Amino acid sequence: MAETDHNHVYFLMNIFLKLGWYFRAEWRRYVIAGLFLVAVDVLELMIPWLVGRLIDDVLAQRLTSADLWFYVVVIGVLGLIIYVMRFLWRMSLFSASFQLAELLRQRVFRHLTAMAPSFYHKHRTGDLMARATNDVTAVEMTAGEGVLSGLDGVVTGILVLLVMLVFINWQLTLVALLPFPFMAWYFYVLGSRLHDGFRDAQERFSDLNDRVQESVSGIRMVRAFGREAREDEVFLSVADRAAEANMRVAATDSLYDPAIFLTVGASFMLSIGMGAWLITQGTITLGELTSFTMYLGFLIWPMFAYGWLLNLVERGNAAYTRIGALLDAQSPVVDGGKCQQPPSHDINWRIDRFCYPGSTTPALADIDLTARQGQTLGIVGATGAGKTSLINLLLRYYDDPGCQVSIGGVPVPDYRLHTLREMVAVVPQDAFLFTATIAENIALGRPDASLDEIRAVARLAAVEQDILRFPAAYQTLVGERGVTLSGGQKQRIAIARALLLDAPILILDDALSAVDVGTERSILAHLREARQGRTTLILCHRLSAVEDADQIAVLGHGELVELGTHRELLARKGWYARMFDYQQLERAVVSGR
């Protein structure tokens, strides 16, 4: 039992020790809140004493009208002062806890944005969202209401006990406190159950959050395959587990109040019985017994505060542990570079062998490929040939000792990640648009861009005519993930967004797959004109997109199998020539020619 008590005290204090860095940084707010709180407690304790004096004056028949008005005015003034001070300490304390929540969310967000893709392969989106929202809120309540409950409960309890022991009667106080050790023991037993229950409830909430996020994101696929009923069953199963975990926590938490009421009831019975006997002995007066019972009523709050504190601390401990585990996770890609500016924007890949984490099958092998500054390099190949893997290594989404990727002759690990990402603008196949206006989505990388600049890149991406067809034009609000736009419109808006950055290196990762051949040719013609002297990488399945490229690299099973211009590759009669003839035939069949 002693070991259990020790562990419980450790868990109780652990969260406050973990948050010590924040308490030290914001000590002024907490000190001000503490001083006002102590002042409020002292002033509140004066009221029962005044009431006891009033009753004794009435019984002694010495109360005058002036004395009555004095008591009324003093109690009224005390109430007003307590009201103002309570407002001040709450403002100081809760503003500090709200700021902690904001700070933690900023840290979580910055940490997540610095993580490499392999991190997200191991963590579910719903779980990350739960840690950034629900868990942070639990820590915020611990730093706010938890500190309030602990400090106010301790101060009130100590002051009330001192007044009862010193100024009223110590024997009566000891008798009144007899039931309290049993309540303390009961709270210790409940504490360990709460800790385990809260941890399980937080994990079940993550599962529920993840399921909701996945279902909403894939709602089109759910409807397309008629899986509404099945998804409903799965969701209800996850929701039931979350509800059961929370019910177990609620069941444990509900045991606190009965224990408190039983303890207080027993304490009042003992106080009244002992107090009546002391009055008959002439040891205390009726007014003192009245004050004593009022002070005993004040002890209800410290007991409730302790129960509420256990609730918040156990929840905060579980939440902060989860947040800490997230913030302690290290990205496999270390931002340790120092180079700020490349001598040129030539790109070179020298890859002996590259495997994705957890896989032994090489995604790339035996590659020596160069893209000169100002050139357009086409990278083609069958699905799974390794096209995107080349880009992932260039952007340092992955690091591997068997891969040497450089820009301007400088290995990409020698650049700061921010510098590297500034040099490259990427247009992915699955263009992601935010819930904002079309203009804001295009200006994502340059929020200060003018409307004229936005329109200029929209024309280069051959999307302005589509935008102007909307009643609100560039101020049209795009639904979540661009749901109000077609696939081709989303891709072209993403291209315009990349062009606005005017980065030295532009990567189109199958970014023209959703547009027709005519629009594709128009966009590529605009790019050649607008990006003279800059490097462009075009990854695609439709070979018409790379016909005019300065050089075309053909990948097969992670290896470089062909390299040359469009004409050279056609002359070799290899994979490129066969695929080009097939696509030309397919296009002729579709067009009916």
pLDDT of residue 484: 65
Higher pLDDT, 477 or 350: 350
What pTM, to 2 d.p., does this model score?
A: 0.66
What superfamily would CATH give domain 347-430+505-591? Answer: P-loop containing nucleotide triphosphate hydrolases (3.40.50.300)
Q: Best-predicted range by mean pLDDT among 5-19, 201-215, 467-481, 554-568? A: 554-568
Higher pLDDT, 46 or 440: 440
pLDDT of residue 548: 84
Cα within 13 Å of Cα(208), Cβ side: 18
Q: Best-predicted range by mean pLDDT among 61-70, 301-310, 335-344, 571-580? A: 571-580
pLDDT of residue 479: 65
Tokens of 192: 């360990």
Higher pLDDT, 351 or 231: 351
Q: Best-predicted range by mean pLDDT among 235-249, 278-292, 377-391? A: 377-391
CA distances, 544 to each of 96, 578, 579, 582, 593 (Å):
60, 13, 11, 12, 18
pLDDT band at 217 (very low <50, low <70, confident <90, very high): low
326 Cβ contact list (under 8 Å, min separation 6): 108, 111, 123, 128, 131
**Per-domain boundaries in the chain:** 11-16+103-328, 347-430+505-591
Q: What is the mean pLDDT of residues 323-328?
A: 83
Tokens of 516: 């027709």
8 Å CB contact between 575 and 535 = no
- The tens digit of pLDDT for each residue in 72-103 reads 888 888 888 888 887 887 777 788 888 888 88
Quick check: 336 pLDDT over 50? yes
pLDDT band at 5 (very low <50, low <70, confident <90, very high): very low
**11-16+103-328: CATH class:** mainly alpha
User: Fold identical between 11-16+103-328 and 347-430+505-591?
Assistant: no
Q: What is the mean pLDDT of residues 471-491?
A: 75
Quick check: 271 pLDDT over 70? yes
Residue 152 CA to residue 144 CA, distance in Å, equals 12
Q: What is the mean pLDDT of residues 50-64?
A: 73
pLDDT above 70 as % of the chain = 88
Helix (H) or strand (E) holding 556: strand 551-556
- The tens digit of pLDDT for each residue in 541-567 reads 888 888 888 898 888 888 888 888 888
Q: Which residues pair with 540 in a beta bridge?
A: 380
Read off the amino acid at residue 207: D
Q: Which residues pair with 403 in a beta bridge?
A: 351
pLDDT band at 199 (very low <50, low <70, confident <90, very high): low
8 Å CB contact between 441 and 501 = no
- The tens digit of pLDDT for each residue in 128-158 reads 777 887 788 888 888 887 777 777 777 877 8
pLDDT of residue 221: 64
Q: Which residues pair with 437 in a beta bridge?
A: 477
Residue 85 CA to residue 482 CA, distance in Å, equals 51
Residue 289 CA to residue 5 CA, distance in Å, equals 35
Q: What is the mean pLDDT of residues 14-40?
A: 81
pLDDT of residue 13: 62
pLDDT of residue 3: 44
Q: What is the mean pLDDT of residues 497-505?
A: 85
pLDDT above 90 as % of the chain = 0
pLDDT of residue 481: 57
CA distances, 245 to each of 199, 232, 241, 252, 546 (Å):
9, 20, 6, 11, 56
Q: Residue 150 phi/psi, 5° resolution? A: -65, -50
Higher pLDDT, 220 or 281: 281
pLDDT, mean over the chain? 79
Quick check: 459 pLDDT over 80? yes
Quick check: 482 pLDDT over 60? no
pLDDT of residue 2: 42
Sheet holding 376-381, edge to edge: 424-427, 505-509, 535-540, 376-381, 551-556, 559-564
Q: What is the mean pLDDT of residues 504-530?
A: 80
